[in-house]
Structure 1
């Protein structure tokens, strides 16, 4: 069981939070409000919860579990999704709690959660903002996905890559928005999606798929570095 503790300055004055474990995250869930921030840097795709079968959206940062191809010295250089920002922190019964066993608290480069005066330091403020974004954004994103499914706009995407070392990888269980189906919608349906802001999200998502090529290049570059 996680070692959850209610966060407070008295007990956690020396607590430090590190971003180093980002390097082991190859996928992170995002909410609809993050699409426009994430799309310039990551492929945004949909997948299903293994337990419930419900769709959710996320950014792909690596092609294999445990490998983030977009970190530099273990840290993401660009937009950091809320799901990563809040690692180790949770809301339980309306209170902010921490899982002291989470690797985010054992990195050597951790930053203090609290200032000397006991006020929330910048890392904790980011955590609080991320948790709020997820709390409000998850139901909103479920509603967006529900409308996409209503119009049969999600379709499986074939992601198969070959690399300089002769290895091939296929990513399974990923979905994208079908632009063909979107463009074939009746005017009234398309107008409704436009007014709801869903069209903007759809084009951001489909445009972001090009970053899969970036991941492939990054993997080849790392293979070349290892071979030197």
Structure 2
């Protein structure tokens, strides 16, 4: 458990933007994510439960989003920003062996008086957002499933180097099923914000070919 007595000298390194190609997000992040990458559903291997994720690339460890001209990430999920920290009951647990945790490099977790630093306070806020956000996202997905609005999507891409990548086990929102909803159901989904989220997911699929273009551009640059 995180505390100043045991962890007062620890520091948090800057995040690694190449860490993942698919990361869990919550509904509060959908609008920002949809402008940069596809939002898809997949199932947890351990439980088979659906979760929502943002796809950054086509292979593990591949991040095709990069950063803006100002050096800021185009989109960076809360789940990546809180890496090395976890909710544990009413407190926060820290993984001291995580690559982001160091004793010399990075921002301090506590100030000289043993109080949380600005960086740690941000982590605390993020963990709170994730806790409530995951609960809301589970309710959203359950609603999609209840109305049979989820459909599988197979993604097959051939790249300029001749490699073909097939992505299976992914799901999206069925626009056909959305349009077949009766007026009362559509109105109920609209009023709780779920209709907007569903269209946000469907619209984010246009980012798939854009990611492919970025991958081809990197291949050409590497060649």
Q: State the TM-score, normalizing by the size of structure 2.
A: 0.91
Question: What is the number of residues matched between the two proteins?
Answer: 221
Q: Does 1:55 align with 2:55?
A: no
TM-superposed CA distance for 1:112, in Å, is 2.5
TM-superposed CA distance for 1:87, in Å, is 0.6
Paired residues of 1:43 and 1:60 also in contact (CA < 8 A): yes
- Three-state SS of the structure 1 residue aligned to 2:47 is coil
Give me the whole-angstrom Cα distance separating, in 2, the residues matched to 1:20 and 1:138. 22
Give the CA RMSD over aligned residues.
2.1
Match of 1:9 in 2: 4
TM-superposed CA distance for 1:58, in Å, is 0.8
Q: Does 1:33 align with 2:33?
A: no
**What runs of 5+ residues in structure 1 fail to find an aligned partner?**
1-5
TM-superposed CA distance for 1:203, in Å, is 1.3
Match of 2:109 in 1: 113
Match of 2:80 in 1: 84
Q: Quick one: structure 1 residues 178 and 76, their matched pair in 2 at CA, closer, same or farther if it must change by over 3 Å?
A: farther
**For each residue in 1:70-102, what CA deviation from the matched residue of structure 2 results, as whole angstroms up to 9, or x when unmatched?**
235xx8613321111111101112111100111
**For each residue in 1:114-133, what CA deviation from the matched residue of structure 2 results, as whole angstroms up to 9, or x when unmatched?**
33443333322221121111
2:207 to 200, 204, 211: 211
Give me the whole-angstrom Cα distance separating, in 2, the residues matched to 1:179 and 1:199. 11
TM-superposed CA distance for 1:9, in Å, is 2.4
Paired residues of 1:47 and 1:56 also in contact (CA < 8 A): yes
Match of 2:154 in 1: 158
**What runs of 5+ residues in structure 2 fail to find an aligned partner?**
none
Q: Quick one: structure 1 residues 221 and 20, their matched pair in 2 at CA, closer, same or farther if it must change by over 3 Å?
A: farther
TM-superposed CA distance for 1:137, in Å, is 1.4
Paired residues of 1:22 and 1:76 also in contact (CA < 8 A): no
1:178 to 174, 186, 193: 174
Give me the whole-angstrom Cα distance separating, in 2, the residues matched to 1:201 and 1:109. 39
1:66 to 55, 61, 77: 61
Give me the whole-angstrom Cα distance separating, in 1, the residues matched to 2:107 and 2:196. 36
Paired residues of 2:23 and 2:54 also in contact (CA < 8 A): yes
